[in-house]
Amino acid sequence: MLYMAVASLPALYGEDSEWHNEEVGRALIGNAKTSVYRTIEKQWYRDAETQVDLRLYVFEPDDLQAGDRRPAALFIHGGAWRTGHPSKGALLCEYLASRGMVAISVQYRLTRAHKVTPFECADDVRAAMRWVRRHADSLHINPDKIVAIGSSAGGHLAGCLAFLLDTGDDAGGDAVSIIPDALVLYCPVIDVTESGYRNGHNVLGERYLELSPAQHVTPDAPPVIIMSGTRDGSSPMRALEAFQERMLAAGNQCELVKYEGVKHGVTGTPENFIDVTWRTDRFLESLGYLQDEVSKEQTAQIVQALVASSQSKS
């Protein structure tokens, strides 16, 4: 029954997934409201200097009312910091909106198109979190219940929000906190040292340790759930296990879900996509972000309906 419900599902997270289907994301992203959260006045984009507007794609619950203060999710897509689009998070965001949250997919500068480094990617994501908290009233969200969700390089950037000092444009003073209240990480690049993401030094340069969340774990970190494959070469399981050990030793909550034999892109099959979405739901329900526990079959039915709706739009 479960396979029949999810047989046509795409996997929207991870670069190596044979199930990857851009059409669903492109169709669903049209359901979102958009807001510009940051403007870069002089930014290279595809070999020309121009103004770049970075946008948030906001998915709202159908029953959202004026005065509501809903829990929120900030989704950060993957793509090795050089590729990707907020549409990669559209299916998950629609799912979370259907469950009562306000879900937001973030656009950030990319190293290939914008000729920046992952440091600027991280700075954009910090700016996005600050903007969301500052506009909590108009977004109808609770600024103290924001979960950051990231996949692959997006998981790295979500980790940067939680564990690294704020070095953004308006850090310090009365700046709004960038620290999320919870983290959901899919095959994240959480450790950019040799024992983790082996290409970290080449990609990040001499300052790579400044952007390695695993080396900056402290007590009172937000609760975390990580889902990743045991054969992931970009996010090795040994690095995730070491991160979990650091988190637990510091008195923090950190759950690690292992998908045996799975490579990078943990949602590379319909079954895994549903399982990851369901476990995300269970984690958020345990924190009080979602109401009413749902079964995996119910999760499959919700996602199937969303995929069907995307196909009717295309």
Between the CA of residue 299 and those of 5, 49, 84, 228, 278, what are the distances in Å? 10, 45, 25, 20, 6
The three-class DSSP label of residue 200 is: helix
Q: Taking the mean position of all CA atoms in its chain, how far away is CA 190?
A: 13
pLDDT at 21: 56
3-state secondary structure of 299: helix
CA dihedral of 111, 114, 120, 126, whole degrees rounded to 10: -110
pLDDT for 43: 76
Q: What token pair was written down for 127?
A: 């700016």
| Tokens representing residue 200 in the block | 């970290």
pLDDT value for 244? 98
Measure the CA dihedral 221/226/231/237, to 10°. 20
pLDDT at 309: 87
Domain 2-313 listed as CATH 3.40.50.1820: yes
User: For residue 154, what pLDDT is reported?
Assistant: 96
Structure confidence at residue 208 (pLDDT): 80
> Where is 182: in which H helix or E strand?
strand 182-186
> pLDDT tens track of the chain, all 314 residues?
344 444 445 444 444 444 445 778 889 999 999 999 999 987 777 777 788 899 999 999 999 999 999 999 999 999 988 999 999 999 999 999 999 999 999 999 999 888 899 999 999 999 999 999 999 999 999 999 999 999 999 999 999 999 997 765 555 555 799 999 999 999 999 998 877 776 666 777 778 888 899 999 999 999 999 999 999 988 899 999 999 999 999 999 999 999 999 999 888 788 898 999 999 999 999 999 999 999 999 999 999 999 888 877 65
The answer, as to whether pTM is greater than 0.75, is: yes
pLDDT, position 19: 45
Q: What is the pLDDT of residue 3?
A: 41
The CA angle 157-229-11, to the nearest 5 degrees, is 75
Q: Is 54 left (phi over 0), alpha (psi -120 to 50) or beta?
A: beta
CA–CA separation, 118 and 159 (whole Å): 13
Sequence-ordered list of residues with C-beta below 8 angstroms from that of 88, at least 6 positions apart, any chain: 12, 13, 25, 77, 78, 79, 105, 151
CA dihedral 137, 140, 144, 147 (to 10 degrees): -130
Angle between helices 90-98 and 270-286 (to 10 degrees): 50
